[in-house]
Copies of this chain bind each other. A is one copy, B any other.
């Protein structure tokens, strides 16, 4: 049974840049991160890019006294990199792997191997059911020509679907992580508007940290400053988002970020800045219903939401077009490989019929060419399978978006005022449910 006294919750999020043998001072930085977490005595710490399980186990041991509960989310080839440390018992954990996450042959980017996902843990804090989500979306390597944009849009779509569908029973919802999207990017807006989650940076009563809440800044010695030149001070791509419910009023008291170099330490904690938010949760006696602040209970939002979903659908269609083109190119290359192989076999058959020819048969070239044909056939087969799966995933996301659009448009027709972000959970089929005070 929830207590009625306000509860203060301190939440931490950091992309740890924990790529062993690649990230600078990886082992030493995990020691520093552990020290910081132990000193801060937070309620929940959400970590990303803890790629190596050894580093998670090191932290688990180091933090055991302050954070007796933890969960490490495993997925993909390397892992999801996601870890949660909590002062409160973790009752349940669940993982959703995004259906798209880059390309395996883009090994230099490596996202595909990480098995990016959204992890959820379920906590009970003073009688309140708190659903905590942690995620890390596909990186943006080139903002001008971002070939991964459709993948990130689909990831955002799946993230908001996962949060909406799994948090119906939550008193409080918290999401932390590296979204790899700027605050006004399509994905960030889509996520906020579909789920009703609020951004700690815009909501915090007090803020202490980098200008504009930036989490990827030029002052950080690990950062490649060239890519940040157009953005001067840096960019904001890490977030802590939250919302309450009819049962709990949630607000953000304060937000802080680290600021690059750490005084007294030889280097920063990571190439990203860490976020610490202090949330205030006040149990209400309102019961289920419309909470103006948390859900944005205004009909005006629906047209925006419709535009956003349309925009997302366009991006997905662009991605679909690319994926289909790539699949087409792959199948054409495969056919060429097959023709080459048949041609070679025909050439090989010639000496059989023209016995006694004077020219010796060029065996070396024959075998080399044969091997090449097989390599082409095998790689195009694998790529064809991969692109077909990409096409299916993109089509699936687009179908879901189309369905949501129809639902949104239908609800606009039926009623001028509707609980926008709760739309999909409580579909407004029955006009009675659309009355604002029902």
Residues of A within 8 A of B (CB): 1, 71-77, 79, 88-97, 99, 104, 113, 115, 120, 122-127, 129, 161-162, 165-170, 363-364, 367-368, 370-371, 374-375, 378, 382, 385, 388-389, 392-393, 395-396, 399-400, 403-404, 407, 410, 423-430, 432-433, 438
Contacts and interface: CB of A to CB of B under 8 A. Distances in A.
A431 to B, nearest CB: 10
Identical chains in the assembly: 2
A71 B129 contact: no
B371 A75 contact: no
Contacts of A74: 392-393, 395-396, 399
B129 A91 contact: no
B96 A426 contact: no
B93 A432 contact: no
Contacts of A371: 367, 370-371, 374
Secondary structure class of chain A's binding surface, majority of residues: mixed
Contacts of A404: 92
Contacts of A424: 91-92, 122
A399 to B, nearest CB: 7
22 contacts: A1-B432, A74-B392, A74-B393, A75-B99, A75-B393, A75-B396, A77-B385, A88-B429, A89-B410, A91-B407, A91-B424, A92-B165, A93-B399, A96-B96, A97-B99, A124-B427, A167-B168, A168-B169, A169-B426, A363-B363, A367-B367, A367-B368
Q: Which of A169, A407, A410 lies at the interface centre, i.e. has the most chain B CB atoms within 10 A of its CB? A: A169
Contacts of A97: 97, 99
Given A75-B99, A94-B400, 18 more contacts: A1-B432, A74-B396, A74-B399, A75-B392, A89-B427, A95-B396, A95-B400, A113-B385, A122-B424, A124-B428, A129-B427, A166-B168, A167-B168, A168-B170, A169-B425, A169-B426, A367-B368, A382-B382
